[in-house]
Structures are given as structure tokens and as C-alpha cells.
Amino acid sequence: MSRKELEQLESELKGCFTALERTQEDIHQKLIKCANGKKLKGDEIVGWLGEIYGKLLLGGTLVLDNLEHDFVADDGRRISVKARKGRAKGWNQTSAISKIEGADCPTHLMFVHLNDDYFVDRIWLYPWKDLRKSGRFGKHIVRGSPRSFIFRVNVRSDEKYLFYPEATL
């Protein structure tokens, strides 16, 4: 691509990017109202929605980013939220989970799956101890070395953990 082609493409996309920026800021401002004063950082709409949707469904308060969980439910459960959007390969795999053992670990993992339109498809809620006991946390290998952990939802066998809509069992 030449410099001229790049500049042409930028020119064509300028209005789209301006509209996208305004829309994202509007979404951000609306979600801030539900965030209990937590700073919603970056451009992570999917992550923001996962945390807010989870907090709204269970009640509770979002916590600062220096903790291993994202919010504390009204009943005291410490929930780590992982959210994904769409149906592309890998939609069912979490981002990196830094640690899986210790007193400061979450009590539950919530996996929020959003449709392409950002509306909730399904949400699973897993007791952390069940995931540890069954060996469901896999090692996340980066450049040949284990750096963190990942988790994968299994739609068929995880129906008992389906939280929203409710499981059909």
C-alpha cells in the first residue's frame, strides 16, 4: 500500500472513526453510572459490559483493578469476570488469569458471552474450587514458558453452570 492509498483510506474512514469514538464515549459514560466509582479503563467495551452485567445480575460492587476479582456480590462472593463477543474461533476461551491458588483468589468465575450486537447470549457462573479440583485451568504458554492460566467453556458439559438464561436441567 502506498502512502497515497493509506491517506485515501484514512480520509474515507474519518467520519466512521469519529462516529465510533462518539458512540464509544456515550457507552462509556452510561456504564460509568453503574460502576460504583471504579475507573473503566481503556477501550474495552466487552470487558466493561461483562463486569457491569454480572454486577447487575448478582448485585454487588465493582472493585479496584489490583485485586484478582472484578466485583464482590451482595452475598460476599468474589467474582472474576471474563467476557467474549461473537462466535469466532476461540470465543469460549478466557484471557489470561494471573493466578489460580491462594486466599486472595476469586470464589467464582463468571464467563459472559455476548452476541455480535453486544447483548448477552449466555452467562456461566463457576465455583472457583470446582474449576481447580477438576483441572479446568490450563497453562497459558507464552514464548515457550507458562505465564498464566486460561479457561475454556464447554457448552455441552457446562450446562449445570449456566446462570443466564437459567440452565434447563
Provide DSSP, 100-159: S-STTS-SEEEEEEE-TTSSEEEEEEEEHHHHHHTT-PEEEEETTEEEEEE-B--TTTTG
Report the pLDDT value the prediction gives residue 157, as an integer from 0 to 100. 96
Report the pLDDT value the prediction gives residue 134, as an integer from 0 to 100. 96
Report the pLDDT value the prediction gives residue 167, as an integer from 0 to 100. 62
Report the pLDDT value the prediction gives residue 1, as an integer from 0 to 100. 62
- Same domain flag for 19 and 102: no
Which candidate, 113, 120, 118, places its Cα nearest to that of 90? 113
- Same domain flag for 15 and 70: no
- Same domain flag for 51 and 106: yes
In angstroms, the Cα distances linking 17 to 38, 122, 129 are: 27, 30, 44
Tell me if 111 sits within 8 A of 153, measured CB to CB.
yes
- Same domain flag for 153 and 132: yes
- In-domain check, residue 119: yes
- Same domain flag for 8 and 55: no
- Same domain flag for 60 and 143: yes
- In-domain check, residue 169: no
φ and ψ of 62, to 5 deg: -70, 150
- In-domain check, residue 17: yes
Report the pLDDT value the prediction gives residue 141, as an integer from 0 to 100. 84
- The range of the structural domain enclosing residue 47 comes to 42-164
Q: Is 133 exposed, middle or buried (0-12, 13-18, 19+ CB in 10 A)?
A: exposed
Report the pLDDT value the prediction gives residue 155, as an integer from 0 to 100. 95
- Same domain flag for 91 and 117: yes
- Same domain flag for 29 and 46: no
- Same domain flag for 29 and 109: no
- In-domain check, residue 11: yes
Compute mean pLDDT per 10 residues along the chain, 169 residues long, and list them: 82 91 91 89 86 94 94 97 94 95 97 93 97 95 88 96 79
Tell me if 32 sits within 8 A of 45, measured CB to CB.
no
For the entire predicted model, the pTM comes to 0.86
Residues 24, 117: Cα–Cα separation, whole Å: 14
